[in-house]
Chain A
C-alpha cells in the first residue's frame, strides 16, 4: 500500500477485489471481440466493460476515496451517468453503419430496409 498508506486493510481488500473484478469483466468483454463470429455479435461484447466492469471499478474508487475522506463520491456517479448515456450512442452508430453497408452490398443475413418499401419519405 504505497499509494494509499492511510487506507485500512479491510477497505484495501474490498477496493482491490472490486477494481480487479471490474478489470476482469472488462477484459472478458474485450475477449468477446475475438471470440464472437460476426460484426453484430461483436458489438455486444464491449457493453460488459461499459456496464458491470465500469460499475465495479467505480464502486472501488468510490469506496477508496470515501474511506480516505478526500472527496465525496459524486464524481463516480457522474462518470457512471455519462458512460451509460454515451456508450449506447456509439454502439448504435456502429451498428447503423454496418447495416447500411451490408444492405448496400446486398450481403446475406441482414433484414431488408423497411424504409425502402415506402418510396419517398413523407415531408
Chain B
C-alpha cells in the first residue's frame, strides 16, 4: 500500500528534507513539502522502474574519504600545471577495461572521475566494457588503470553490486 503511494521512499524523504532546509521549518511548509516530495518522486516511475541496490556501509564512507583526498591532491597537481606549464607534460586518452556492470556504479564512477581535476570521463563502451577517459597529465597508463580499478572500482562493486 505504502509502496504504491510512495515508490521511492528515500528520494521522497530527501526531497522533503531539502524543502524544509531551504524554506525553514513550519507546519505549513512541512505539509506542502511532503505533497511536493510525494508528487515529484513519482515522476521517477516513468524514468526508471528498476530499483537500484545500494549498500551505504563502511565501503561508502571509505569511498567518500578516498575521493575527497584524491580531489585535493589532483587540485594541487592541476594548479601546478596551469601555473608552471611544464614543457614535457603530455595529455591524452586512455582506454580502460572496467569490471563494473551496474549503471548506477558506472554513473558514480563517471562523476568521480570527472569531478576530480585532471581526469575526464569521455565514453563508456557497453559491448566491450571499456571506458575512455582523458587525462591532463599522462605519465603512466598503468598507474591510472590501477588507481581506478583498485581504489574506486572495488569499493563501487561493494556498494552497488
Contacts and interface: CB of A to CB of B under 8 A. Distances in A.
Interface stretch (A4-12, A58-66, A92-100): A92-100
B134 interface: yes
B123 A52 contact: no
A45 B82 contact: yes
A92 B82 contact: no
Contact of B78 (A44, A84, A110, A115): A44
Given A47-B116, A115-B125, A115-B127, A75 B78 contact: no
B134 A95 contact: yes
Given A51-B75, A75-B22, A44 B117 contact: yes
B120 interface: yes
B45 interface: no
Interface string B72-83: 100100110111
User: What range describes how many residues of B lie at the interface?
Assistant: 20 to 34
Contacts, number: 101
B82 A36 contact: yes
A52 to B, nearest CB: 4
Interface of A: 25, 28-29, 31-32, 35-38, 40-41, 43-45, 47-48, 50-52, 74-75, 78, 84-85, 87-89, 91-92, 95-96, 99, 110-111, 114-115, 118, 122
Interface stretch (B31-39, B53-61, B98-106, B107-115): B107-115
B136 A41 contact: yes
A96 B120 CA distance: 10
Given A35-B85, A52-B75, A78-B18, A96 B136 contact: no
B56 to A, nearest CB: 15
